[in-house]
């Protein structure tokens, strides 16, 4: 089945799609992104149920989550490169199609191994749409509305992250875990149908796909994630050192191969743009701060402060809820005002919120926690959309795919760093490490704010 229209069916230099096609394209992007984010959250909630169903231990069942995340990380940049060569529209639609078929595999899985493989294929499909998401959006909306569209993206991610765990918990109390994946089937087909009719064509690069660079990229980025995870789990020094050497060797070979290419798969050309590289660093640091808090706070709320398990999820909600409200507004503001300042102010608010959480009394009320979490959400919401707009906007339009892929890679790398640091602190300090993780998170956010403000000179 052919999933792309012929190039030239649309004036590619036009400033966005005409209405109403633009609105159908935005709807496609929203539903597709919701699917990818929801599947990254609901599987976490379903893990104990799935492990019990397959009579598997917790350490083995965790690969249901890890396979999905790892597949996304290693394939983002290669798929972004394929998008530049064959069209973002084609990669997006094939990603949705693969995600939907793999969801059927998850529903029909009769063993943990089959489910894990299906989840890895699902991750490849999710990477297809995530790798080119911002690039497709750039061809969809007018330039003066791009910030608002990026803000909408951030709102969708926050809303799906907020609703996902609660939705999964409700579903599992009524039906079997297979239904969590079965819901992807009608939504995936709907997204494919909408996208087939509405997604824009894009400029095509006159080059062939570099399979060697794609392989080196997958190995290098995969080893970054496993290395970070190994540090977090306090593995033997020899194993950590071996991974570090292999990772450095893969990156060295990749950079040597890519440095003279006009359109490198690892976007070295974009990293030479100061505002792009600074925005990338800001993104990694901020998402590390976010995950340091998200992973450590449930331990603090439940184990240290004694809140019931049922209340912990509610205590976590003000952050993503505030982010979902603020992100579209900050996206619109970034179309008019300096994104470096907006992001810097937001990251300062995030740091203050994290510091306030670190200073919580021993027996806080839910209100004590809620306003601090909301402050963090407001700060992160002020930063995320303007920063993403700056990153993608700093790249030439024909390199939007590379920028989009690197944007997602930065987010996942930062999140992996944050989660690994919490594991390391818990291993070294016991449950007290969860409390100190908040101070480390405030430090990351402060560093990110400083980096963000240096962008005002560009």
Q: Give the pLDDT confidence of 214-223 residue by residue, as tens digits.
A: 999 999 988 8
> For residue 421, what pLDDT is reported?
85
User: Residue 390: CB partners within 8 Å, gap ≥ 6?
Assistant: 275, 276, 279, 334, 339, 340, 343, 455
pLDDT above 50: residue 202: yes
Render pLDDT for 385-405 as a digit per residue (tens, 0 to 9): 888 888 888 888 878 888 888
CA distance 204 to 73: 24
pLDDT above 80: residue 23: yes
pLDDT above 90: residue 41: no
Q: Where are the beta strands (DSSP E) in 5-141?
A: none
Give the DSSP letter of residue 376.
H
Structure tokens at 327: 């992100």
> For residue 12, what pLDDT is reported?
62
CA distance 190 to 255: 40
pLDDT above 70: residue 3: no
User: Residue 199: CB partners within 8 Å, gap ≥ 6?
Assistant: 25, 28, 88, 89, 92, 93, 136, 140
Contact assessment for residue 283 and residue 289, using Cβ atoms and an 8 Å cutoff: no
Give the DSSP letter of residue 203.
-
Radius of gyration of the chain (CA): 21
Mean pLDDT within 115-140: 91
Cis peptide before 20, with omega less than 30 degrees from 0? yes
Mean pLDDT of the chain: 86
Contact assessment for residue 96 and residue 194, using Cβ atoms and an 8 Å cutoff: no
Confidence band of 11 (pLDDT split at 50, 70, 90): low
> For residue 357, what pLDDT is reported?
95
Render pLDDT for 228-280 as a digit per residue (tens, 0 to 9): 777 766 677 888 889 999 999 999 999 999 888 878 888 888 888 999 999 99
More confident position, 12 or 403:
403
More confident position, 161 or 227:
227
> For residue 234, what pLDDT is reported?
66
pLDDT above 90: residue 438: yes
pLDDT above 50: residue 24: yes
- Of residues 375, 413, 394, 190, the one with CA closest to residue 274: 394
CA distance 428 to 341: 37
Percent of the chain with pLDDT over 90: 33
Percent of the chain with pLDDT over 70: 95
Mean pLDDT within 8-27: 77
Handedness of CA 89, 92, 98, 104 (dihedral sign): negative
Render pLDDT for 43-58 as a digit per residue (tens, 0 to 9): 767 777 888 888 877 6
């Amino acid at each position: 089945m052919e999933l792309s229209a012929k190039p030239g069916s649309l004036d590619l230099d036009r400033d966005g799609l005409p209405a109403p096609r633009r609105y159908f394209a935005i709807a496609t992007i929203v539903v597709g992104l919701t699917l990818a984010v929801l599947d990254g959250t609901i599987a976490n909630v379903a893990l104990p149920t799935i492990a019990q169903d397959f009579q598997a231990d917790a350490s083995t069942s965790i690969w249901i989550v890890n396979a999905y995340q790892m597949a996304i990380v290693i394939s983002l940049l290669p798929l972004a490169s394929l998008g530049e060569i064959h069209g973002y529209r084609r990669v997006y639609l094939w990603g949705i199609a693969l995600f939907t078929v793999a969801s059927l595999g998850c529903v029909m899985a009769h063993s943990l191994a089959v489910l894990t493989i299906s989840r890895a294929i699902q991750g490849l499909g999710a990477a297809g749409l995530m790798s080119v998401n911002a690039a497709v959006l750039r061809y969809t909306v007018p330039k003066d509305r791009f910030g608002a569209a990026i803000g909408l993206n951030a709102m969708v991610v926050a809303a799906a992250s907020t609703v996902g765990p609660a939705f999964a918990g409700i579903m599992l109390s009524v039906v079997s875990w297979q239904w969590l994946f079965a819901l992807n089937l009608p939504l995936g087909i709907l997204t494919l149908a909408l996208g087939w009719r509405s997604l824009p064509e894009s400029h095509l690069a006159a080059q062939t796909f570099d399979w060697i660079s794609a392989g080196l990229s997958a190995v290098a980025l995969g080893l970054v994630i496993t290395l970070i995870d190994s540090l977090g789990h306090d593995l033997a020094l020899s194993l950590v050192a071996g991974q570090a050497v292999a990772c450095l060797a893969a990156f060295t070979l990749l950079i040597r191969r890519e440095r003279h290419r006009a359109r490198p798969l690892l976007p070295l050309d974009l990293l030479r743009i100061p505002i792009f590289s600074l925005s990338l660093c800001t993104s990694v640091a901020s998402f590390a701060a976010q995950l340091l808090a998200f992973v450590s706070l449930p331990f603090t709320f439940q184990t240290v402060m004694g809140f019931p398990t049922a209340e912990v999820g509610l205590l976590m909600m003000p952050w993503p809820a505030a982010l979902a409200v603020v992100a579209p507004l900050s996206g619109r503001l970034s179309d008019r005002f300096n994104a470096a300042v907006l992001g810097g102010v937001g990251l300062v608010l995030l740091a203050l919120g994290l510091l306030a959480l670190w200073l919580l009394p021993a027996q806080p009320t839910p209100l004590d926690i809620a306003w601090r979490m909301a402050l963090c959400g407001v700060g992160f919401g002020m930063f995320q959309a303007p920063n993403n707009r700056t990153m993608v906007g700093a790249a030439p339009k024909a390199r939007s795919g590379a920028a989009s892929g690197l944007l997602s890679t930065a987010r996942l790398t930062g999140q992996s760093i944050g989660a690994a640091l919490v594991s390391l602190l818990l291993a070294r300090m016991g449950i007290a490490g969860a409390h100190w993780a908040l101070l480390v998170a405030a430090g990351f956010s402060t560093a990110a704010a400083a980096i963000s403000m240096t962008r005002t000179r560009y």
